[in-house]
Amino acid sequence: MMAVSASRLLALIILLLATSVSAKPVLKLAATEWAPYTSVTLASGGVASELVTAAFNQVGYDVEVMVYPWQRAQHMVKQGVLDGMAIAWYTEERNLRMLYSRPYLKTEIVLLKHRSDLNTYGDEEMEGKLFAVMRGYGYLGSIPAKHYRTSVSDSLEQSLLMLGRKRVDLVLEERLQAHHKLALLPRIDRDKIHFGRSLEVRPLHLTISRGHPQHRQIIDDFNRGLALLIERGEYARILANYEPAPLSVAD
């Protein structure tokens, strides 16, 4: 009887050791408040958080997406407190510090204008215009004009209200975030603002710090999980929960 119990105990110990060796740690990824992509105000966490988590779940990872102010989020990744960024556009500077995944969404930078503004805003028609831009956001590179003015705001809501009151000529913003924020404004303010032309489509990536000892393996695993997510139809099902529809990389 004692021999049987000892054998079972030994088998349990071996199983626990094998599980602890093979188990993947929880990945901690940084994001910022950028609804509907990442947000603590959305039950799903946002479409980007949902896709990143689901792709990693396909290959056995657990993920925690943590929302901080953008500058703080980047600093925490640099310091190794967090493993990477759940949302990132490609930049050469960031590529030196982080390894990028394949794109998992596309984002679209658009112009917003006052409803009374009949201008279609070709490149030359943006010359000298006053743009409202949010502090710390990298949208200015999308402006094709060589000469323009900027008014820095602390939030998209502030930029939109400035536009509605004609204190600025144009607002530059990502399409889905603009829709999300406009829906939260009073109708009297919302109805003053119209969508103008699209300026640029930018792929959205996951990044892992190059200082992480398994950064290449993690990115490879994410890319594999994303492919499985698309193949099994779960990717399309997640996107279908959002309106307006996010721009898919599976098209």
Note the pLDDT tens digit of each residue in 225-236: 999 999 999 999
Structure tokens at 222: 């994410």
Alpha carbons within 13 A on the beta-carbon side of 88: 26
- Threshold 0.85, pTM exceeds: yes
Q: Is the dihedral of CA 9, 11, 15, 18 positive or negative?
A: positive
Averaged pLDDT score across all residues of the chain: 90
The DSSP letter of residue 101 is: -
* Residue 226: burial class (beta carbons within 10 Å; 0-12, 13-18, 19+): buried
Higher pLDDT, 117 or 141: 117
CATH 3.40.630.10 for the 24-106+203-239 domain, yes or no: no
pLDDT mean over 53-59: 97
Q: Kindly indicate the confidence band of residue 173, based on its pLDDT and cuts at 50, 70 and 90.
A: very high
**CB–CB of 247/201 below 8 Å?**
yes
* Residue 243: burial class (beta carbons within 10 Å; 0-12, 13-18, 19+): exposed
Q: Is the dihedral of CA 106, 112, 115, 116 positive or negative?
A: negative
Compute the distance between CA of residue 199 and CA of residue 121 in angstroms, rounded to an integer: 10
Q: Kindly indicate the confidence band of residue 6, based on its pLDDT and cuts at 50, 70 and 90.
A: low
The CATH architecture of the domain made up of 108-201 is: 3-Layer(aba) Sandwich (3.40)
Say if 24-106+203-239 and 108-201 have the same CATH topology.
yes
Domain limits, the chain: 24-106+203-239, 108-201
- The 3-state DSSP composition of the chain as helix, strand, coil percent (nearest 5) reads 40, 25, 35
